[in-house]
């Protein structure tokens, strides 16, 4: 199934080829979890501070058990802040 991957700030360098505006579509297996995708893209785990599926925060201990559905948006940030 296809999901949309969004990697921001310093994680942008891990985006797959062909990414536009920090986003790329990725073919993943059914019920893929954020942890699986993080591993596949080679993202350093401690850099994955904010993991959002469709804008909803996924806590670290739920990243291996929460499954994505077709067309879901998985967005990941390193530790950032602003104001």
Partner 1 sequence: MAWAKKLLRVNLTAGTISEEALNMDWANKYLGQRGLATKYFVEEVDPKVDPLSPDNKMIMATGPLTGTCASTAGRYSVITKGALTGAIACSNSGGFFGNEMKNAGYDMVIFEGASKTPVYLFIDNDNAQLIDASDMWGTSVWDTEDKIKSDHQDPMIRVASIGISGEKGVKYACVVNDYHRAAGRSGVGTVMGSKNLKAVAIRGTKGVTVKDPVRFFEAANAGKAVLAGNPVTGEGLPAFGTQVLMNVINETGALPSQNHRDVQFDGAHAISAEAMAEPRESDGKPNLVRNAACFGCTIACGRISTIDRTHYTVAERPEYQVASGGLEYEAAWALGAATGVDDLDALTFANFICNEQGYDPISFGATVGAAMELYEIGAITDKETGGIELKFGSAKALTDLAELTGKSEGFGAEIGLGSKLLCEKYGHGELSMSVKGQEFPAYDSRGIQGMGLTYATSNRGACHLRSYTVASEVLGIPEKTDPLVHEGKAGLVKAFQDATAVFDSAGICVFTSFAWSLEDVAPQIDAACEGDWSVETLLEVGERIWNLERNFNNAAGFTAADDKLPERLMKDAAKTGPAKGLTSQLDKMLPEYYQLRGWTADGVPTNETLGRLGL
- Which residues of the shown chain bind partner 1 in the complex (CB under 8 A)? 6, 8-10, 12, 21-22, 49-50, 52, 54-57, 59, 73, 75, 77-83
Collapse the DSSP code of 57 into the 3-class scheme (helix H, G, I; strand E, B; otherwise coil) and give the result.
strand
Q: How far is the CB of 19 from partner 1 (least distance, A)?
A: 11
Nearer to partner 1, 54 or 67 (CB): 54
Q: Which residue's CB is nearer to partner 1, number 30 or number 69?
A: 69
For residue 80, the minimal CB distance to partner 1 (Å) is 4
22 backbone dihedrals φ, ψ, rounded to 5°: 65, 15
Largest CA distance in the chain: 38
Cβ nearer to partner 1, comparing 42 with 82:
82
Burial letters for 37-62: b for 16+ Cβ neighbours within 10 Å, e otherwise? bbeebebeeebbeebebeeeebeeee
């Amino acid at each position: 199934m296809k999901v949309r991957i969004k990697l921001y700030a310093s994680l942008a360098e891990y985006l797959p080829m062909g990414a536009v505006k920090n986003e790329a579509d990725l073919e993943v297996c059914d019920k893929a979890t954020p942890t699986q995708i993080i591993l596949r893209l080679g993202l350093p785990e401690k850099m994955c501070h904010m993991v959002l599926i469709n804008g909803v925060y996924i806590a670290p201990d739920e990243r291996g058990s929460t499954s994505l559905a077709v067309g879901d948006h998985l967005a990941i940030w390193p530790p950032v802040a602003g104001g």
